[in-house]
Structure 1
């Protein structure tokens, strides 16, 4: 089968990205792959949908660096193909990265993903589900038992009132965004720079204020879910603990956080089970939960990362499991001659 990976840009891809791991796993299992970016869709006058994909030759790469060099170099070619030639469209872009510089590109994946699904291509995560998750407000649709106390507002007075109610402090961040950008811990309304922080964050739109969780000093746990259930291979869960750098409240690897092994307890599995029904209903095939204590801070449904780090820590390659799951979905799609809706098949 052919898998198309939709990303923000080819130039920004790296050997350590999870998309790289997935693409290499697909090649190793004998599949064709290509990469798409926001400008690569063409809807023609006859209502046919084509894509301009960056195609790599069907060979196996032993090292991620070699794969990355081939993707960026002359070994890759650009081919125009009908979307019917693509079995799986894997949406792996981060809309927040395009929100400021080229807002037209932010939601192209979901927009054209719907058209691709209507023409029989399996699209994961489901584009309609992703449209619901275009900002962190999506998180409020999950059970309150797994969420921190949260305020969403653009009012400094509302923010101040929320801070006064939480003596342990609050975390403030933009409603839209990722990668730990503009995330601040506020201890009290007496902090001298509160107004400056508010102005900086509110400039991006609505703000989220959440009660600070003391367990955050130990970092958060990134746990992968596939088809709504924890991703597991040979008794090892696809999970890491991300420990923040000294003086940081963010544990993101991009923000100098450190990844270490983590034991997945029955309590963590219970948290994952709590969010499973909605993720399945929304067609979320591959998801990353960020867990602190007994709460989930975020649910990453666009570009959950960390598979290469997990391979280094545990010696377990979870990417192959993900590709095998896609093979099964394509087989089910073909067996039912497209009668199963994409949203159901995506998380089946």
Structure 2
């Protein structure tokens, strides 16, 4: 099969991205791949849809660094594919990265993903599901038992009152965004920095204030789910702890958080079972839960990262399991006598 990986830009890809790990696994399993960006779709007057995919010069790589080097070099070339030649369109872009400087690009994956799905290409995660998840309000649709106490507002009076009701303080962050950008811990409503933080963060829109959880000092757990179930391979869970750097409240790896092995608990599995129905309903094929204690702080449905860390940490290639699942979906689709919806196939 041919898998097209949709990303924000070729230039911003790195050897450590999960997309690189997935692309490497697909190639080594005998599949064709290409990279697609927001600029690469073409819809013609006859209603035909095509994409300009960047193709690598080799089908055999041993290291992600080599694949990435060729992707970034003149050795890779752009080739036009009719959408019918793309078996799987894997949406791996982060809309928040384009929201400010390229707002036209933020929703392109969802828009053309829908068109691709209508023409028979499997699109994961399901574009209609992703359309509901453009910001962190999506998280509020999950059962309240797994969510920390939360306020969403742009009103400083409301936010101060909320913080005043949280004995351990609160975390304040923008509703739109990712990667730990503009995330602050506020100890009390009298915090001298609150006004400055409010002015800085509210410029990006609504704010989320969440009750601070003391367990967060140990970091959060990135817990992968695939097809609505915990991602497992060779008896191991695709999960790891992200330990914050000294003096840092954020666990994100790119701000110094260090990955560490974690023992999956019954509490984590119970959380996974609780969010499972919603993930399946929305066609969320591959997601990353960020768990602290008995709560989920965020659900990453666009670009859950860390597959490269898992392979090293547990000496097993979870990316191969992801590609195998896509293979199985192609078999299921081909075996159906009647058309199966993209959303249903995405989580079968």
Give the shorter-chain TM-score range.
over 0.9
Shift of 1:338: 6.2
Residues 69 and 42 of structure 1: CA distance in aligned 2, closer, same or farther (over 3 Å) = same
1:37-84 Cα shifts (integer Å, max 9, x gaps): 000000000000010000124521011111101111122110011000
Contact map agreement 1:30 1:58 (CA 8 A) in 2? no
Shift of 1:255: 1.1
Inter-partner Cα distance in structure 1 for 2:83 and 2:250: 40
Q: Does residue 174 of structure 2 align to residue 174 of structure 1?
A: yes
Contact map agreement 1:42 1:51 (CA 8 A) in 2? yes
Contact map agreement 2:15 2:65 (CA 8 A) in 1? yes
Inter-partner Cα distance in structure 2 for 1:337 and 1:123: 20
Alignment of 1:1-348 (within 5 A): 1-336=1-336, 339-348=339-348
Shift of 1:201: 0.5
Inter-partner Cα distance in structure 2 for 1:182 and 1:197: 8
Inter-partner Cα distance in structure 1 for 2:184 and 2:252: 13
Shift of 1:190: 1.1
Which deviates more, 57-66 or 104-113?
57-66
Inter-partner Cα distance in structure 1 for 2:77 and 2:337: 32
Which deviates more, 29-38 or 327-336?
327-336
What SS does the aligned partner of 1:289 have? strand
Inter-partner Cα distance in structure 1 for 2:135 and 2:32: 32
State the Cα RMSD in Å: 0.8
Contact map agreement 1:120 1:338 (CA 8 A) in 2? no
1:110-130 Cα shifts (integer Å, max 9, x gaps): 000000000000000000000
Which deviates more, 33-42 or 305-314?
305-314
What SS does the aligned partner of 2:334 have? helix
With the length of structure 1 as denominator, give the TM-score of the two structures.
0.99
With the length of structure 2 as denominator, give the TM-score of the two structures.
0.99
Contact map agreement 2:57 2:70 (CA 8 A) in 1? no
What SS does the aligned partner of 2:145 have? helix
Structure 2: gaps of 5 or more residues: none
Inter-partner Cα distance in structure 2 for 1:313 and 1:226: 19
1:169-202 Cα shifts (integer Å, max 9, x gaps): 0000000000000000000011111100000000
Structure 1: gaps of 5 or more residues: none
Inter-partner Cα distance in structure 2 for 1:81 and 1:240: 37
